[in-house]
Amino acid sequence: MSKKHTEQTAQQQNEQQQTPSAEQPVAPLSELEQALTDENEKLIAEAETLREQNDKLQKTVHRLQSSADKSDTYLNQLVAIKNDFESYKRRMRFNAEQARTEGLQTAIVRLLPVCDNFELAKQHLDGDNLKAFAMVYNQFLHILQELGVQEMNVLGQPFDPLSMNAISKQDRGEQNRDLVVEVFKKGYVLGDKVLRYAEVIVGA
């Protein structure tokens, strides 16, 4: 055998010894490497679980926020309805009181001529007839007072166009100038409301 062929053969054998065969088995992992691998897989699984839990939590938060927004809307609507109802009750009380006052005023104004007739009749009665008549008349006046009706006390007072009508002026002396010297028809008030203006004669 030639020297050259011998060298080639030796070189091939040397390369075969240095290059591992494709069928050569992989060396098993060490215990530390296996533990790290197991721990890494465990952490990956836990991270996935946390991600799923976070997604569920986000959905729950969104649902709760939506419910809270709806609750706020319902609460605002309820407050608005309550305020509207309170305003409605105030309006109804005001309207009822106004209707009552107006109805009372209308009824009293229609009764005032009865007072005038009592005053005229009293001038033509005397003795026992006057006493019986006065009792009935005073009872009638008492009822009007209970309703809040007051007779104007204007005799001798300065003329007031806001509560009196001057039917004439008469010279009653300088001391009576612009004063009420005679009441032709009595005036009446209900609180601050003038039910009937007093008809008076004013000193000139």
What is the Cα–Cα distance from 160 to 153, expressed in whole angstroms?
Answer: 12
CATH, range 150-204: 2.30.22.10
What is the Cα–Cα distance from 68 to 74, expressed in whole angstroms?
Answer: 10
| b/e 69-100 (16+ beta carbons within 10 angstroms → b) | eeeeeeeeeeeeeeeeeeeeeeeeeeeeeeee
pLDDT 10s digits, 100-142: 888 888 888 888 888 888 888 888 777 777 788 888 888 888 8
A 10 A CB-CB count for 201 gives 17
pLDDT 10s digits, 7-57: 555 555 555 555 444 444 544 558 888 888 888 888 888 888 888 888 888
% pLDDT > 90, the chain: 18
Would you say 121 and 155 are in contact if contact means Cβ atoms under 8 Å apart? no
